[in-house]
Structure 1
């Protein structure tokens, strides 16, 4: 026969019998593993174990990071508190330094104010020229006082006040029938406040109270002195 003669079709069973593998056709169904197949469960279980191990590792890392966050947050809070305290201390130190410099400067100016005060009390201008000079002098004094007020300086008012060692410096003490003991009866040098704090203590004279005699013995001593003019006037009338 010629080469183009058709080959007869072979039976698949005959092919298997001859030891040849059958050829799968596209229409053959694809086998899928069932969930109950032990072989498929064995293939899935390693993946599940890996996921659980990964989850445990992530949880450990999360715990570690959370602990580190707490530590760093505590350190930050301490540093922030230290910085705030440092800032407040610096501000306080600057204020104290400013007050010290102001007090030092004003302490040098106050004697000039004292001289102005003494000269103002002693001046008694006579004539137009002297009065004009006195007005100029008073203007300078007022300008100086206004500058001190702007800086927060205020004079103390001490006469008649009870002696206070935090405000006053007792230079003299003397008996006084007019004032109780430990009352300021005279200001020798004016004291000043600076923003409510003592800039300079006032030098004062303080009463020691009544003299050596008590009030009962001193009162009768004043009565004869009051009656004496009446006796003198009566005797004068009789003599007349």
Structure 2
């Protein structure tokens, strides 16, 4: 082929390539425009769909929810008030129980102390009561025994020293002897085993102590055995004149 023919064939191919490029760019532009239109249409459709989906009742939803919240708050307050009242009643009940327990314990403590004191007093009375006959023996020996020799006098002094020591011990723990002679008879302290008619003392007066009584504070450890004065009996003899006068009056 000649050079002219080759040049002619080359030019149409170049022109065809350029035309193809222009067509491609135009198609791309058209595609972009179509895509933009589709996106716009989809946005419009979505907005219209949202507008159509709105329900007039949904517009009033905030006020309904507000009323529901208010009712819930009122119910919660009522429930809390009920719980507070229940807790207050429980506290009052527990407080009352604590007060009763404290009172019961105080009564128990006082009763225990009283029983302890009574037990100590009873034990002390029993122990001292066993010693009183020993004191009686010492006192009897002191009144009846009359030492003659020096040795007897020494023995007498020795056991009288023991007697004095025992009496001092009893005095320290509150024991004291009764002084009953010349006192009116009192059955709370005295045990009358004899009566003697006498004009030297009023009737009912203790004239002799036969066995000494003892006190532990104000409590009687042992009653005193005593002899009590009685009034004189009328022992005047009746004369024959008075007897005849009585018989004549009777007839």
> What TM-score results when the alignment is normalised by the length of structure 1?
0.71
Q: 2:204 aligns to what SS in structure 1? A: strand
Structure 2 residue 148 is matched with structure 1 residue 122: no
Which segment is superposed worse, 86-95 or 164-173?
Answer: 86-95
Q: Which has the higher helix share?
A: 2
2:130 aligned residue: 108
Report the alpha carbon displacement of residue 44 of structure 1 after superposing the two structures with TM: 2.5
Q: 1:136 aligns to what SS in structure 2? A: helix
Report the alpha carbon displacement of residue 71 of structure 1 after superposing the two structures with TM: 2.0
Which segment is superposed worse, 43-52 or 145-154?
Answer: 43-52
> What TM-score results when the alignment is normalised by the length of structure 2?
0.68
Which segment is superposed worse, 80-89 or 106-115?
Answer: 80-89
- Equivalent residue for 2:210, pick from 169, 188, 195: 188
Q: How many residues align?
A: 191
Unaligned runs of 5+ in 2: 1-21, 30-35, 45-58, 237-251
Report the alpha carbon displacement of residue 212 of structure 1 after superposing the two structures with TM: 2.5
1:212 aligned residue: 233
How many Å separate the matches in 1 of 2:220 and 2:72?
80
How many Å separate the matches in 2 of 1:102 and 1:18?
118
Q: How does 1:36-185 map to 2 (within 5 A)?
A: 38-185=60-207
Render the CA deviation track for 1:18-75: whole Å, top value 9, x for unaligned: 53539xxxxxxxxxxxxxx954333333222222211111110111111122222222
- Equivalent residue for 1:201, pick from 223, 231, 241: 223
Report if aligned partners of 1:15, 1:21 keep a CA contact under 8 Å in 2: no
> Which has the larger Rg?
2
Report the alpha carbon displacement of residue 100 of structure 1 after superposing the two structures with TM: 1.7
Unaligned runs of 5+ in 1: 8-13, 23-36, 218-240
1:11 aligned residue: none
Report if aligned partners of 1:170, 1:203 keep a CA contact under 8 Å in 2: yes
Superposition RMSD in Å: 2.7
How many Å separate the matches in 2 of 1:87 and 1:120?
49
Render the CA deviation track for 1:152-171: whole Å, top value 9, x for unaligned: 21111100100000100001
Distance verdict in 2 for CA 1:186–1:15, change over 3 Å: farther
